[in-house]
């Protein structure tokens, strides 16, 4: 009789996560978060060593998950990355995270940290950001996850990455951002859904409300006093509660919903706050902001 051999436990295949994106978008924060989650992490690994690194991760029983950062510090070698990444994906399971942010957010971060842009100090930061976007466009097109970090705090970004890559957490969670704005200042370009609430009566024409905002209980009560306001809130809430699970099913990571009125101080503010509360009560993870609330 043949000797019965004991079955060996299956070893999960190695995974390599590549973090890339714009300078100042939070790549270091994401790498540190993945390191805390148990990923073997390397910052600024030379392009020519990435395939060797992936091979080591595949062969080593001690490295089951690895993460590395690739960015414009590579210079001209960055042009070779798309072809190289495709070869790596054929060898081991791999994911590409691309981080970006709005120009205003990037400019503020460079100003606060006083760090020079990696493309050099001979040109303005604005021009360097534009050049970097162009350089990284072919890599962005390959991304499995694209994250705009403009509205994330460091804590929120870490929490978001933890939920997506933590393994024991719910990766299907969607972060919803509800925003108010004024059409006279332009529509937020990162909006996924935009709702125009200029059809509602405008408190701006009432002297007692003109210098207040939609966060003032008296202003909010005035806007809610109209039947079209109450009906709109109910209908939009029902629509979003229906839509959000479908976005989650499709793998969307975050959703930006924007409500706009003329100036962004009254109607859109009240509506964004109300919808945020409704979605939170429905069990979704929601944060809010009012882009133009202090503009006049």
Q: What is the pLDDT of residues 150-185, one digit of tens each?
A: 888 888 888 888 877 775 444 446 789 999 999 999
- pLDDT of 199 reads 96
pLDDT digits (tens, 9 = 90+) for 24-70: 999 999 999 999 888 888 888 888 888 888 877 777 777 778 899 98
Instruction: Give the separation between CA 269 and CA 214, rounded to whole angstroms.
Output: 5
Provide DSSP, 166-208: SSSS-TT--EEEEEEEEGGG---TT-SEEEE-TTS--GGGSTT
Say yes or no: domain 15-165 is CATH 3.40.50.300.
yes
The tokens describing 82, both together, are 């798309």
Instruction: Give the separation between CA 164 and CA 147, rounded to whole angstroms.
Output: 12
- For residue 289, give the DSSP letter: E
Among candidates 13, 283, 266, 46, which has minimal Cα distance to 170? 283
- Record the pTM: 0.63
Q: Where are the domains of the chain?
A: 15-165, 175-290
Is residue 210 helix, strand or coil? coil
Alpha carbon separation from 119 to 89, 93, 123, 250, 292 (Å, rounded): 29, 31, 8, 36, 32
């Amino acid at each position: 009789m043949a000797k019965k051999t004991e079955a060996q436990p299956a070893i999960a295949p190695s995974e390599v996560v590549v973090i890339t994106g714009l300078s100042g978008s939070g790549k270091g924060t994401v790498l540190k978060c993945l390191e805390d989650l148990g990923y073997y992490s390397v910052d600024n690994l030379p392009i020519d060593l990435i395939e060797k690194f992936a091979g080591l991760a595949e062969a080593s029983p001690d490295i089951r998950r690895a993460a590395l950062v690739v960015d414009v510090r590579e210079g001209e070698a960055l042009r070779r990355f798309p072809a190289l990444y495709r070869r790596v994906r054929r060898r081991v399971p791999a994911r590409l995270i691309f981080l970006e942010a709005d120009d205003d957010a990037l400019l503020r971060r460079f100003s606060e940290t006083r760090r020079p842009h990696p493309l050099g100090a001979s040109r303005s930061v604005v021009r360097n950001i534009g050049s970097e976007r162009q350089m990284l466009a072919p890599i962005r097109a390959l991304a499995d996850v694209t994250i705009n970090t403009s509205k994330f705090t460091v804590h929120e970004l870490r929490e978001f990455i933890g939920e997506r890559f933590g393994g024991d957490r719910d990766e299907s969670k969607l972060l919803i951002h509800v925003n108010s704005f004024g059409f006279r200042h332009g529509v937020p370009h990162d909006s996924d859904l935009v709702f125009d609430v200029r059809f509602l009566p405008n408190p701006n024409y009432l002297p007692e409300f003109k210098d207040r905002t939609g966060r003032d209980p008296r202003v909010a009560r005035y806007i809610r006093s109209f039947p079209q306001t109450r009906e709109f809130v109910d209908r939009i809430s029902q629509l979003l509660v229906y839509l959000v699970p479908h976005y989650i099913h499709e793998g969307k990571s975050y959703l930006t919903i924007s409500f706009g009125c003329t100036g962004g101080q009254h109607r859109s503010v009240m509506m964004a706050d109300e919808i945020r509360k409704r979605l939170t009560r429905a069990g979704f993870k929601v944060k809010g902001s009012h882009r133009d609330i202090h503009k006049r």
